[in-house]
Amino acid sequence: MPFKVERMRIEDVPEVLAVDRRCFSTPWPESTYRREVNNPDKNLYVVLRRVGEGPLTNPDPRTGFLSNILPFRKDGASPTPNPVVGYAGLWVVADEAHITTIAVLPELRGRKLGELLLETLLEHAIGAGASWVTLEARVSNQVAQALYRKYTFKNAGYRKRYYSDNGEDAVVMWSDRIDTPEFAEKLAGLKARLYESLNGDLMGVCV
Ligand SMILES: CC(C)(COP(=O)(O)OP(=O)(O)OC[C@H]1O[C@@H](n2cnc3c(N)ncnc32)[C@H](O)[C@@H]1OP(=O)(O)O)[C@@H](O)C(=O)NCCC(=O)NCCS
């Protein structure tokens, strides 16, 4: 199944919202995405697209099984070509980059696509002149924390009751310094292995 990564555009926001609602218990409002996409000097928001038309094999529980096997949606529109199946975002302020969000549709997880999004953000952060990258994750989100640890992130503290839906704490993670030859070498090695495992599935990264 081929995929590509592109810069998020305003036209992508409705699709991104649909993915967000399936990935997070407290989705962002549309206005936040619009504001972020309209501020490309300070940030990078990307979408992961599945290249080609047609339904995913897994049914979307919210729209029902039939909507996934019929060629047309209930509203009569054709299926979206190259649908958005994941996305990620990053701010850069002075020498710090902050990963604000990253998500892949549940039925496509475990295929290195989240890692592809993270690696893309990190390369951008280096290009933008950042020295460190930080982010917050739910303390219970072991999958995300494992992904970040793979890319040198370490726990640096906690924000108590950071998540309003259930009062869960956030763990604050920081990367190693990213503007060093050591990090460049580490990232190049991880990227080589990542791209090798994505093999023919990656059609391109154009951000
Ligand atoms: C976090 C998320 C983006 C990871 O995406 P993914 O495509 O499933 O992950 P990948 O296949 O790219 O995995 C890359 C790494 O993540 C970690 N990982 C992925 N799935 C894992 C699992 N089930 N258990 C433990 N670690 C896991 C591993 O370190 C893995 O590297 P490895 O394959 O060398 O072991 C995805 O789970 C997601 O969208 N979750 C919901 C939204 C979310 O929680 N976002 C993070 C907010 S902080």
Let me know if 195 is exposed, middle or buried by CB neighbors in 10 A (0-12, 13-18, 19+).
Answer: middle
- Asked if residue 12 has pLDDT above 90, the reply is yes
Average the pLDDT over 7-22 and give the result: 97
In this prediction, residues 91-112 reach a mean pLDDT of 97
Cα 110 to ligand 1 centroid, rounded to whole Å:
6
Q: Which residue from 22, 100, 122, 143 has its CB within 8 A of the most atoms of ligand 1, so it is best to mutate?
A: 143
Determine the average pLDDT of the residues in 49-67: 60
Q: Is residue 177 part of a domain?
A: yes
The dihedrals phi and psi of 190, each to the nearest 5 degrees, come to -65, -40
Q: Any idea what the CATH number is for the domain that residue 81 is in?
A: 3.40.630.30
Residue 206 within any structural domain of the chain = no
Single out the residue of 198, 21, 14 nearest to residue 114, CA to CA: 198
Q: For 125-177, what is each residue's pLDDT tens digit?
A: 999 999 999 999 999 999 999 999 999 999 999 999 999 999 999 999 999 99
Q: Which helix (H) or strand (E) holds 206?
A: strand 202-206
Q: Residue 199's pLDDT band (boundaries 50, 70, 90)?
A: confident
Calpha distance 156→148 (Å, rounded): 13
Average confidence (pLDDT) over 94-121: 98
Whether the per-residue pLDDT at 74 is higher than 60: the answer is no
User: Do 145 and 171 touch, CB atoms closer than 8 A?
Assistant: yes
Count the domains in the chain. 1
Would you say residue 56 lies in a domain? yes
Output phi, psi for 97, to 5 deg.
-110, 145
Which of 110, 83, 91 has its CA nearest to residue 6? Answer: 83
Please tell me the predicted confidence (pLDDT) of residue 142: 98
- Please report whether residue 207 resides in a domain: no
Q: What is the pLDDT of residue 66?
A: 44
Which CA distances in Å does 92 have to 114, 131, 132?
20, 10, 10
Question: What three-state secondary structure class fits 175?
Answer: coil
Per-residue confidence at 55, pLDDT binned at 50, 70, 90? low
Residue 86 has pLDDT above 70, yes or no: yes
- Residue of higher predicted confidence among 97 and 73: 97
Give residue 115 CA to ligand 1 midpoint distance, Å.
Answer: 7
Its pTM stands at 0.91
Question: Is 8 a domain residue?
Answer: yes
Q: 102 lies in a domain? A: yes
Residue 207 pLDDT > 50: yes
Residue 65: pLDDT band by 50, 70, 90 thresholds? very low
Minimal-distance CA residue to ligand 1 atom 26: 143
Q: Is residue 154 part of a domain?
A: yes
pLDDT of residue 42: 85
Domain with 63, as residue range(s), is 3-200
In ligand 1, the atom with minimum distance to the C-alpha of 136 is 48
Residue 205 belongs to a domain: no
